[in-house]
Structure 1
């Protein structure tokens, strides 16, 4: 006999699976890239959820969307959230789970406060955020909205970033009605829950991960310049094929991981464009982005230097010009010990168990951790798969995560993080 879920759990799952229908793909994923009509539809869902409960909704100058709950007078906000945008043909859990979990946690806390469930009034107010362009699939760099909020990226500069079709962030946000002017909330702390995007929690049978640090990451923006010519009429010895050079760069980006112990470094090239992109023309220009990540900054630096050295060899071999520049460099972030202890206290209280874990992927919490005490939580990912339609987390794990986030947020609005310092 199946045990009926509590009403709160059922309500969360109903909302989560409803949002997953927005931008749904044939293979159970979603395609909701930043500032597209599908992204707008999820934003409208967020707004409706908040306004139906009497919460104030704000949108700032980079498209971040906030729902504000006033629990006490003249106090900053504990901020919960993640992002609703996705990768092209992405998964329905990445980001969206954290936003919807944050909204439901906030709703539960608001009802708890209204019934006088605590002996003392909250110390802080509560807010939920949907960050703009966390994924970076349409507009680079990723983690844009939270980085602007944290002062790491310049708002005016980010509004002028353009996608592959030449549309700017500003134009895209205006087109969906979400280029805002509202004041950003003053925050006391930040908490985010997310799917792990790895196999550790599933393998160990642990429902909650407490993120203690992030990996060092950086990208290389690489432009390969050759000479356009006829594929049928140009002798092989006379060619300066930008695509051939780019292919060799891609291979070197992959092979550099072999210089280090297994799983020390991960690298990839995930985006490539070429000109003129004709089947009978040797390419004259290729643009690609290489992504390097490791727990150790020096490993990333060493790999970067090796790739740059290889690029010089490829240039000389094929008569090309290859320009490479560093961008989106993100140093290791150590999450505060007080937040980790708070997470472990909640795990003890709820009887769930939790383990400390590092994040290889970037998250909005990496930016927010620079400006506010931050708690980052993971729930298990089946097979560790993410950024694809096969991405999956079980309903029971999501429900546990919402309950866990609610208790963390309840303690945060009552000043627990500050008390554990």
Structure 2
């Protein structure tokens, strides 16, 4: 049985109605009313397919399709349903509903796997609300603890712990829910590419070889606030101009790197004061560095710090640099990648091996099991944007590959 593109599209359009910004992209931040309504919709669709639903105290959903031997470690699939502000309707959701379509296909074929297959929706993959990515999958693998939920806060000063408590999720159960790491045979996630490599090559499906991991830093520059007209160019201690030079230095260092894949981004900046006729006395900005090589990433951070020392010294300003996280890149399971290639050959489906520049929940899940990913193209590589778009036929082909490979994994 082949994946039904119309069914996939229907699910994706329905969950997109749980959206804080209709007509202006999809906004469904983790732990908001839109997120909770989307969770309830997903659970209903899981129940309609006969899945047994499990949940934990951070909002992860696990939909279990029981195998003939449920005592064996299961196979996991799925993705996330939260979004960035004014984002697209396919980032994360494509993987969740592709997984659900696989179960529908299996049940229609009368197929019961040897191992149970779980369709999971991981909470808070996007970091836009609390400054922490992959909340749910980090909790599962032990990368965060209860105190981290109290430390991570949104712009209103609310912690994840407080929000979960208010919304009835009992985060005080954290140590009980995540006291032991789950036994998982394998994990396979479908996701949109968020680049244009597949589109440019005219290939519908990619097999991910490795997932780049982020190092996130926060930099604070302290200059001298003064009058925009009364202060000569020579006498300025401009916090913004120092920040701008640092951002350009990051771009230069990333472009000059010999790494197989590396990126550097300044994505958020706040000036104080933020006024047209005042030289900013303070600037706060984010730094995001990613690579498929942990060493290359560390080397870029070190080189950037040397440039920050030089730039701030020359401009007569001071700085503080805080490392928020330093995640390790993940090389996807060679065993699962081999199964993906075998399945693609049987399906007569051309595929491309490729690196993921974006992080995903699979990056975290690699801590506890063999993990791999399938990519499908997104139009012009646009993602995290209201213009994000995919071809449903590509999603159906990716779902066919997901189904064939999950069958292989579930029979091991």
Normalised to the residue count of structure 1, the TM-score between the two structures is 0.86
What is the deviation of 1:81? 0.9
Contact 2:259 2:296 in 1 (8 A): no
Q: Which residue of 2 aligns with 1:291?
A: 288
Which of residues 41, 44, 48 is equivalent to 1:48?
44
Q: Which residue of 2 aligns with 1:153?
A: 144
Q: Which residue of 1 aligns with 2:200?
A: 203
Once the two structures are superposed, the pairs formed by residues 229-378 of structure 1 within 5 Å of their partners are 229=226, 231=228, 239-260=236-257, 264-279=261-276, 281-378=278-375
- More deviation, 295-304/229-238: 229-238
Q: What CA distance in whole angstroms lies between the structure 1 residues aligned with 2:346 and 2:146?
A: 41
Contact 1:28 1:390 in 2 (8 A): no
Contact 1:210 1:357 in 2 (8 A): yes
Which of residues 6, 13, 17 is equivalent to 2:9?
13
Q: What CA distance in whole angstroms lies between the structure 2 residues aligned with 1:19 and 1:302?
A: 42
- More deviation, 359-368/401-410: 401-410
Which of residues 146, 150, 158 is equivalent to 1:167?
158
| Structure 2 unaligned blocks of 5 or more | none
Q: What CA distance in whole angstroms lies between the structure 1 residues aligned with 2:382 and 2:81?
A: 18
The superposition leaves residues 325-376 of structure 1 with CA deviations (integer Å, 9 ceiling, x where unpaired) of: 3332222321121101110111122221222211111111111112101121
The superposition leaves residues 205-224 of structure 1 with CA deviations (integer Å, 9 ceiling, x where unpaired) of: 22221111123542222122
What is the deviation of 1:232? 6.0
Contact 1:63 1:179 in 2 (8 A): no
3-state SS of paired residue (2:268) = strand
Q: What CA distance in whole angstroms lies between the structure 1 residues aligned with 2:146 and 2:402?
A: 30
Which of residues 127, 130, 134 is equivalent to 2:121?
130
3-state SS of paired residue (2:322) = strand
Which of residues 31, 38, 56 is equivalent to 1:35?
31
Q: What CA distance in whole angstroms lies between the structure 1 residues aligned with 2:294 and 2:127?
A: 22
Query: How many residue pairs get matched?
Result: 405
Contact 1:60 1:179 in 2 (8 A): no
Q: Taking structure 1 as reference, are residues 101 and 156 closer, same or farther at Cα in structure 2, changes over 3 Å only? A: farther
Q: Taking structure 1 as reference, are residues 146 and 18 closer, same or farther at Cα in structure 2, changes over 3 Å only? A: same
What is the deviation of 1:318? 3.2
- More deviation, 35-44/298-307: 298-307
| Cα-Cα RMSD | 2.7
The superposition leaves residues 41-85 of structure 1 with CA deviations (integer Å, 9 ceiling, x where unpaired) of: 211211221233443323323222222232234233211111111
- More deviation, 50-59/305-314: 50-59
The superposition leaves residues 92-141 of structure 1 with CA deviations (integer Å, 9 ceiling, x where unpaired) of: 111111111112222333444xx3x4xxx633112111112211111223
Q: Which residue of 2 aligns with 1:59?
A: 55
The superposition leaves residues 241-260 of structure 1 with CA deviations (integer Å, 9 ceiling, x where unpaired) of: 33332222222222223423
Q: What CA distance in whole angstroms lies between the structure 1 residues aligned with 2:235 and 2:35?
A: 47
The superposition leaves residues 27-47 of structure 1 with CA deviations (integer Å, 9 ceiling, x where unpaired) of: 663111222222222112112
Contact 2:3 2:400 in 1 (8 A): no
Once the two structures are superposed, the pairs formed by residues 72-111 of structure 1 within 5 Å of their partners are 72=68, 73-111=70-108
3-state SS of paired residue (1:221) = strand
Q: What CA distance in whole angstroms lies between the structure 2 residues aligned with 1:355 and 1:307?
A: 33
Q: What CA distance in whole angstroms lies between the structure 2 residues aligned with 1:412 and 1:325?
A: 42
